[in-house]
Amino acid sequence: MQNLKNNQLMPIFAVILLTMIWGYNWVVMKQSVQLIGPWEFAFIRNFFGALCLFFVLIFYKKSLKLAHPIYVFLIGLMQMIGFTVLVLAALVKGGTAKTSVLTFTMPIWANLLAFFFLKERIKLNQCFAIMISFLGLVLIFDPVHKSPDLYSMIMAISSGFFWGCGVVLVKHYHHLNPKTDLLNLTAWQMLLGSIPIIFVIWFKGIDIYVVNTYLIGASIYNIVFCNAIAWMLWLYGVKYLKTSLVSSISLLAPVIGSIAAFIEFGEAPLLNELIGLILILSGIFVMLILASRPASK
The ranges assigned to domains in the chain are: 10-292
How many C-beta atoms lie closer than 10 Å to residue 69's C-beta? 10
% of the chain with per-residue pLDDT over 90: 41
Task: Find how far residue 57's CA is from the centre of its chain.
Answer: 22
pLDDT at 185 over 70: yes
What's the pLDDT at 291? 62
What's the pLDDT at 24? 95
pLDDT at 147 over 90: no
Residue 39: name the closest of 202, 259, 173, 188 by CA.
Answer: 202
pLDDT at 189 over 70: yes
pLDDT at 270 over 90: no
- Rounded to whole angstroms, the Cα distance separating 113 from 176 reads 18
- Rounded to whole angstroms, the Cα distance separating 172 from 7 reads 31
Please provide the average confidence, as pLDDT, over all residues in the chain.
86
Q: Look at 172 and 199; give whichever has higher pLDDT.
A: 199
**Mean pLDDT throughout 177-187?**
86
pLDDT at 7 over 90: no
Task: Find how far residue 7's CA is from the centre of its chain.
Answer: 27
**Mean pLDDT throughout 42-70?**
93
Classified as helix, coil or strand, 36 is strand
What's the pLDDT at 117? 81
Among 67-81, 165-179, 199-213, the minimum mean pLDDT is found in 165-179
pTM over cut 0.95: no
Q: How confident is the model at residue 2 (pLDDT cuts 50, 70, 90)?
A: very low
Q: How confident is the model at residue 258 (pLDDT cuts 50, 70, 90)?
A: confident
Classified as helix, coil or strand, 46 is helix
How many C-beta atoms lie closer than 10 Å to residue 28's C-beta? 21
Length of the chain, in residues: 297
pLDDT at 289 over 80: no
Q: Where are the alpha helices (DSSP H) in the chain?
A: 2-32, 38-59, 69-76, 86-93, 96-103, 106-117, 124-141, 150-176, 182-204, 213-220, 230-240, 243-250, 252-265, 271-292
- Rounded to whole angstroms, the Cα distance separating 239 from 242 reads 8
